[in-house]
Structure 1
Amino acid sequence: MAASTQPRRTKSLEQAIPPILRPALRSYLLGYLSSTTPRLLTLLLITLSRRRKNIDEKPVDAFLPSLVRILRGGLELQRFPTFCAALVGGSTLLEAHSTAKIDCTGSITFVEFGTIEIYRLARCVSTFIAAWFSLRLLQSKKSEAFIDHVPEASPTGVTLRPIQFAGRTMDLTLFAVTRAVDVLVGELWAQRKSRRVAAGQWTKVEKLASTLTDSSIFASSCALIMWAWIYTPDRLPPSYNKWIKSAAAVDQRLLTALRRVRFGEMKYGLETGQAHVLQGMCKDYNLPLDYGDPVKSIPFPCEIVHMGVGKSCEKHALSRWVRSFIWAFSTYLPLNLILTLRTPSKKRFRHALESSARSSAFLGTFIALYYYGICLARTRVGPRILGTSIPRRQQIDSGICIGSGCAFCGWSVLIETAGRRKELGLFVAPRALATLFPRRYIWENQWRETLAFAVSTAVVFTCVGERPERVRGVLGKLLRKVLTA
């Protein structure tokens, strides 16, 4: 009985709010929950971990102030919830005002620009304005991570002058740009498909391209991300970088060696004083110290990459798959089981098991293919194609082997269902784009990012109003729900 009355109460509360204000309220609540919930979960896990480890500090003394700080922080003006409300509420209010003006003129129609086009333009312009000013609101919040202090001469001596950089909202902007491109390309491709099918000219190659689009987006995005993780990790968000490191379970000394080979600090056949980097690993994994010396070992044996598993590259890939599957399954299964508690049943429980196993197999295959791709380029295929001379060995280990692993790993997404492949592709694409742009740039160029965000958001919101099915995935469903008055 309580479960049935809950939706009615929520509905009655929403009906008490004027329809024009409902989108703003929904978006604010969603923004508040999305920004505070992860922090609350992290706080809870840290507190429980401290209690298990019997740390002297009282958990309550640390928990309550942190809890209040998180809950209060989400209410600040320059935070994500206010941004969401300003974006959605501003666009709907401006659109309602502009369409009311059009209606007051007596439903004006133009010969070359009809009423429907005017309403569409009103929606687009309204969203553009709201997106511009809502992002500027987020950008106005100062962050110490984006401020450098430069020495400057003054009459009293040398002082430090603060210089503010932009880039705090880059991830959000790239997300909007990715979604807008997906909408536009998807619409153009759908129109092409309709014409080709009607004319009986739709080929098997075009059908295959449609099927593999999401998988290709995921694979290419992961290639960029994994390349950046090895060579330019500062181009990835710190939390994302940390998660990849945890999943990959790689020795940091191996990453250091790969970077030094890439940038010419460590060279085969030449003494550069870098042998100690990998010799420490050799000692820890009971391998001969000569394995880590670039003068004596050309190339480094794959046993170092295997980190104690043995000589066989295939055995190492299999062991990686098993370890990664167990690690992922222990994470996915509890989360999926929690979701089944809302409406528990045997069917939902079985689905939770299958979904957890499939996602764990996907992640295990991703990691195994990444490592095996590296070994293929280093020992199986690369030397047969490029040769075994010292310069060629240097070339393989300075980028080709990593590129091979990057190219292979993302295709593990084919294990997932079609719907899941779509969501994963749209999830990683903005992060891949972020590796191509600096995470900080000069403040004077911030208007370019704001313009890109405003145009992209206008495209997506207009499409939600005109062709809602074109905005794919969870975002499309969410926007349709939020934007409905």
Structure 2
Amino acid sequence: MAMQQPTARISPRSRVFEHGVPPSLRPILRAYVLGYASSTVPRIMTLALLYIGRRGKNTHGKSEDHVLVSLAKILKGGLEPQRFPTFCAALVGGSSFLEIPLRRFFALLSDKLSQVTQLRLAKWTAAFIAGWFSIKLLQSKKSEAYVEILYHETEHGRVLRPTHFAGRTLDLTLFACHRAADVIVGELWSQRKDRRIAAQSWTRVDTLVGALTDPAIFTSSCALIMWAWIYTPDRLPRSYNKWIKSAAAVDPRLVEALRKTRYGEMKYGLETGQAHVLQDMCKKYKWPLDYGDPVKSIPFPCEMVHMGTGKNCEYHAVSRFKRSFVWAISTYLPLNLILMARNPSSKGFKVALKSSAQSSAFLGTFIALFYYGVCLGRTRLGPKIIGTDVASRRKIDSGICVGAGCALCGWSVLIENANRRKELGLFVAPRALATLFPRRYLPEHQWRETLAFAMSVAVVFTCVGERPERVRGVLGKLLHRVLIQ
């Protein structure tokens, strides 16, 4: 990688803000302010929305007092030394200040190393050390959510004691690991592309692979996330879980039945005492109670998956798209119009409308494909491939039908433009990786996470200093602007 000096422009507003601050301290200031804003602004917006929603019900001024106390707590909490703003400042500041002495160290260590190699080693090592100690700073803060009362064996027998677990920084670590992998794979692919173009051996297949990489990452990530949402929701963050539930608009009894079928609590042809789960649903939609009995209905009618839209699977998919599109555009359009209001124009309005419609169509198609994939698995294609006997029906409804929906839904991303596909893939991949790891683990294994984070940060920061365009998406631009002096 050829060495490049940062050339990003700093806005006049930022220059005024940083006036009087020594150049060497400006990256630290930017990192702290950015970290503080990212950790407090979303919570303040949520608090404001809750206040607006409750204002009409309040007549004694208690809501205002509660909001002020909560606001003060949010603003004060962001200033604590073991919080995200300090982490950002320590990460950026440590990597900046350690680089100069480390350059001298590597220069003295070996005169056989080129200046470029010495600089790379200094950047990587500085970022590694800063990453190690900054993540340790976050990990040192205890959280009640990671404490459980468990039995411990003692000389006096089994006693209950509070047990601390690690893992509260796992999402951040997986994010860093994914971005480091993206940098490395992207650089290797770029070098391969340059070699093949120079040798005039670049093919249409290579072009197709490059074009489908981001959609494939998004699709596989969504498959993992949706599978976890159905069967292991505890592996997803609570807010993420809640959002998917709202977007999917599924009867919770149907999800419960899928889980019980998966784990053998509900079996076709056997009385296991679980018929009440779907029979309660039958009462709501005025279906025969036999629909929900796994002894009498083998399989459960696909009409139950459609939840009141009739027996036709294709019609259900279309109705899902319509409902989801309306739900999504009612959220996206107001947000885009608010952003457009800064510089109102007819062109801006058209762009806001097009962007909202495109994103809503993507989300509507995502949900429609998921449900239709389930129907394909259990009604349209699954029985023709796997079979129609009781054992095959158990196999289909214990995972195959959900797997088909998970595999199909993510390809809706092809509706979005290439840049949006890239951003979406980079956004969901770390969350998908999180479903493969336990949300908490014993503290003695925390060094592995710390090592993974430090190495990943070292890769990303080194690349930002040399090839900032290789760190894709908003993160690359943001890091470049933060690190420039």
Same fold (TM over 0.5): yes
The equivalent residue for 2:307 is: 307
Shift of 1:353: 0.6
The equivalent residue for 2:97 is: 93
Once residues 55 and 449 of structure 1 are traced to their aligned partners in structure 2, the CA distance between those partners, rounded to angstroms, is 50
Once residues 62 and 101 of structure 1 are traced to their aligned partners in structure 2, the CA distance between those partners, rounded to angstroms, is 55
The equivalent residue for 2:69 is: 65
Shift of 1:148: 1.6
Once residues 186 and 297 of structure 2 are traced to their aligned partners in structure 1, the CA distance between those partners, rounded to angstroms, is 51
The equivalent residue for 1:411 is: 411
Once residues 328 and 374 of structure 1 are traced to their aligned partners in structure 2, the CA distance between those partners, rounded to angstroms, is 22
The equivalent residue for 1:442 is: 442
1:285-336 Cα offsets, whole Å, 9 max, x none, are 1111100000000000011111111111111111110110011101111111
Say which of 43, 46, 54 aligns to 2:47.
43
The equivalent residue for 1:131 is: 131
Once residues 91 and 69 of structure 1 are traced to their aligned partners in structure 2, the CA distance between those partners, rounded to angstroms, is 31
Structure 2 counterparts to residues 173-212 of structure 1, below 5 A: 173-212=173-212
Once residues 180 and 211 of structure 2 are traced to their aligned partners in structure 1, the CA distance between those partners, rounded to angstroms, is 20
Q: Which runs of 5+ in 2 are unaligned?
A: 1-9
Once residues 17 and 363 of structure 2 are traced to their aligned partners in structure 1, the CA distance between those partners, rounded to angstroms, is 43
Say which of 14, 20, 39 aligns to 1:16.
20
Describe the SS at the equivalent of 2:272. Answer: coil
Describe the SS at the equivalent of 1:89. Answer: helix
The equivalent residue for 1:164 is: 164
Describe the SS at the equivalent of 1:242. Answer: helix
Describe the SS at the equivalent of 1:296. Answer: coil
Provide closer, same or farther for how the CA distance between residues 55 and 295 of structure 1 changes in structure 2, counting only shifts above 3 A: farther
Query: How large is the Cα RMSD of the aligned pairs?
Result: 1.8
Once residues 327 and 173 of structure 1 are traced to their aligned partners in structure 2, the CA distance between those partners, rounded to angstroms, is 33
Shift of 1:158: 6.9
Once residues 300 and 9 of structure 1 are traced to their aligned partners in structure 2, the CA distance between those partners, rounded to angstroms, is 62
Once residues 275 and 57 of structure 1 are traced to their aligned partners in structure 2, the CA distance between those partners, rounded to angstroms, is 49
Once residues 402 and 421 of structure 1 are traced to their aligned partners in structure 2, the CA distance between those partners, rounded to angstroms, is 24
Describe the SS at the equivalent of 1:407. Answer: helix
Once residues 375 and 152 of structure 2 are traced to their aligned partners in structure 1, the CA distance between those partners, rounded to angstroms, is 51
Once residues 88 and 268 of structure 2 are traced to their aligned partners in structure 1, the CA distance between those partners, rounded to angstroms, is 54
Once residues 442 and 59 of structure 2 are traced to their aligned partners in structure 1, the CA distance between those partners, rounded to angstroms, is 44
Shift of 1:155: 8.4
Once residues 217 and 55 of structure 1 are traced to their aligned partners in structure 2, the CA distance between those partners, rounded to angstroms, is 51
The equivalent residue for 1:292 is: 292
Shift of 1:95: 1.1
Once residues 160 and 250 of structure 1 are traced to their aligned partners in structure 2, the CA distance between those partners, rounded to angstroms, is 39
The equivalent residue for 2:3 is: none
The more displaced of 350-359 and 156-165 is: 156-165
Shift of 1:52: 3.1
Once residues 248 and 289 of structure 1 are traced to their aligned partners in structure 2, the CA distance between those partners, rounded to angstroms, is 25
* Letter paired with 1:384: K
Contact persistence 2:106–2:121 (CA under 8 A): no
Once residues 121 and 84 of structure 2 are traced to their aligned partners in structure 1, the CA distance between those partners, rounded to angstroms, is 27
The equivalent residue for 2:4 is: none
Describe the SS at the equivalent of 2:165. Answer: strand
Contact persistence 2:173–2:452 (CA under 8 A): yes
Once residues 14 and 420 of structure 2 are traced to their aligned partners in structure 1, the CA distance between those partners, rounded to angstroms, is 31
The equivalent residue for 1:33 is: 37
The equivalent residue for 2:397 is: 397
TM, length-normalised to structure 2: 0.95
Shift of 1:12: 3.2
1:132-171 Cα offsets, whole Å, 9 max, x none, are 0000000000011111222447789975322211100000
Once residues 175 and 229 of structure 1 are traced to their aligned partners in structure 2, the CA distance between those partners, rounded to angstroms, is 20
Shift of 1:93: 1.1
The equivalent residue for 1:110 is: 111
Contact persistence 1:86–1:134 (CA under 8 A): yes
* Letter paired with 2:299: P
Provide closer, same or farther for how the CA distance between residues 7 and 215 of structure 1 changes in structure 2, counting only shifts above 3 A: closer
Provide closer, same or farther for how the CA distance between residues 344 and 447 of structure 1 changes in structure 2, counting only shifts above 3 A: same
Describe the SS at the equivalent of 1:166. Answer: coil
Contact persistence 1:303–1:310 (CA under 8 A): yes
Structure 2 counterparts to residues 290-369 of structure 1, below 5 A: 290-369=290-369
Provide closer, same or farther for how the CA distance between residues 418 and 9 of structure 1 changes in structure 2, counting only shifts above 3 A: closer
Structure 2 counterparts to residues 1-12 of structure 1, below 5 A: 8=12, 10-12=14-16
Identity within the alignment, %: 67
The equivalent residue for 1:221 is: 221
Once residues 101 and 456 of structure 1 are traced to their aligned partners in structure 2, the CA distance between those partners, rounded to angstroms, is 23
Contact persistence 2:106–2:122 (CA under 8 A): no
Shift of 1:99: 3.5
Contact persistence 2:222–2:406 (CA under 8 A): yes
Describe the SS at the equivalent of 2:213. Answer: helix
Describe the SS at the equivalent of 2:344. Answer: coil
Contact persistence 1:109–1:115 (CA under 8 A): no
The equivalent residue for 2:452 is: 452
Contact persistence 1:317–1:372 (CA under 8 A): yes
Contact persistence 1:310–1:316 (CA under 8 A): yes
Once residues 258 and 45 of structure 2 are traced to their aligned partners in structure 1, the CA distance between those partners, rounded to angstroms, is 36
Describe the SS at the equivalent of 1:211. Answer: helix
Describe the SS at the equivalent of 1:344. Answer: coil
Contact persistence 1:313–1:375 (CA under 8 A): yes
Provide closer, same or farther for how the CA distance between residues 9 and 382 of structure 1 changes in structure 2, counting only shifts above 3 A: closer
Once residues 334 and 73 of structure 2 are traced to their aligned partners in structure 1, the CA distance between those partners, rounded to angstroms, is 28
Provide closer, same or farther for how the CA distance between residues 377 and 97 of structure 1 changes in structure 2, counting only shifts above 3 A: same
1:201-247 Cα offsets, whole Å, 9 max, x none, are 11211110000000000000000000010000000111101110010
Q: Which runs of 5+ in 1 are unaligned?
A: 1-5
* Letter paired with 1:253: R
TM, length-normalised to structure 1: 0.95
Provide closer, same or farther for how the CA distance between residues 212 and 155 of structure 1 changes in structure 2, counting only shifts above 3 A: closer
The equivalent residue for 1:231 is: 231
Describe the SS at the equivalent of 1:15. Answer: coil
1:385-412 Cα offsets, whole Å, 9 max, x none, are 1111000001000000000000000000
* Letter paired with 2:287: L
Once residues 55 and 268 of structure 1 are traced to their aligned partners in structure 2, the CA distance between those partners, rounded to angstroms, is 55
* Letter paired with 2:111: F
Shift of 1:56: 6.2
The more displaced of 125-134 and 140-149 is: 140-149
Once residues 81 and 175 of structure 1 are traced to their aligned partners in structure 2, the CA distance between those partners, rounded to angstroms, is 17
Shift of 1:10: 3.9
Once residues 52 and 59 of structure 1 are traced to their aligned partners in structure 2, the CA distance between those partners, rounded to angstroms, is 10
Contact persistence 1:218–1:425 (CA under 8 A): yes
The more displaced of 440-449 and 10-19 is: 10-19
Describe the SS at the equivalent of 2:18. Answer: helix
Once residues 364 and 294 of structure 2 are traced to their aligned partners in structure 1, the CA distance between those partners, rounded to angstroms, is 31
